[in-house]
Structure 1
């Protein structure tokens, strides 16, 4: 069995997903992998307010949310922060077109649901390593 442990336990992660079960699962996986600073929000507007007052190293965004898509939220976060944060789109809508759009926006990764937890942690670490 592979070892599931992040290289960056102090990284500040923000997870945004409107589905409470998916949000809880993702947060538990991240904490199990050793991430100590994980904030979970279920509404995109809360994420915008959060990044205005708190430093975030990585944002993990669901694509399908009722108020706006993960891509739209990422664009807004980039505008608010005046830079592109490390962004990973975590979505059940895994398509080449969506992946290309996320890359065009400067997102660091695209993770399809259901996700492989080792791949998820590896993508976060790889993004943080630059």
Structure 2
């Protein structure tokens, strides 16, 4: 069983369900989900999160705007998951505090592999 606490932040329910299903099949049990930035920040304040999978296009704010707010409350490893593929978007993701950047469409097994690779290097060891 994987002990890493993972937060999925995406307003596309099908993507959240798919990633959550794959992560659970890979042994992860502590998975939280949020559909917008406000929910994500509330969960981060209540739980010690190790890895955050963060969409850029959220209904209440962008993931780029949310990332620095997350950094004030958490040292979690942040992986952007987004359809925004320009070099500027990728650089913005890193500049705002992201640790990794994956573009949609993506292979859910690749996401699971990245989470597994990061869990040992996560800034929190919760």
TM tier, smaller? 0.7 to 0.9
Q: Distance in 2 between matches of 1:115 and 1:53?
A: 30
**Contact in 2 for aligned 1:109/1:123 (Cα 8 Å):** no
2:17 matched to 1:20?
A: no
Number of residue pairs the alignment of both structures matches:
121
Q: Distance in 1 between matches of 2:80 and 2:39?
A: 17
* TM-score (ref. length: structure 1): 0.84
User: Which residue of structure 2 lines up, in the alignment, with residue 88 of structure 1?
Assistant: 79
Which structure has more RCO (C-alpha within 8 Å, separation ≥ 6)? 2
Structure 2 unaligned blocks of 5 or more: 122-126
2:109 matched to 1:109?
A: no
2:2 matched to 1:9?
A: yes
Could you give the per-residue CA deviations for residues 26-80 of structure 1, whole angstroms, max 9, x where no partner exists? 2112112221111111121011111111110001111111211112111111123
**Contact in 2 for aligned 1:48/1:77 (Cα 8 Å):** yes
User: Which residue of structure 2 lines up, in the alignment, with residue 5 of structure 1?
Assistant: none
Q: Distance in 1 between matches of 2:36 and 2:108?
A: 23
Q: Distance in 1 between matches of 2:69 and 2:43?
A: 12
Structure 1 unaligned blocks of 5 or more: 1-7
User: Which residue of structure 2 lines up, in the alignment, with residue 37 of structure 1?
Assistant: 30
Equivalent residue for 1:49, pick from 33, 42, 61? 42
Alpha-carbon shift at residue 126 of structure 1 (Å): 2.2
Q: Calculate the aligned-residue CA RMSD, in Å.
A: 1.6
2:116 matched to 1:125?
A: yes
* TM-score (ref. length: structure 2): 0.86
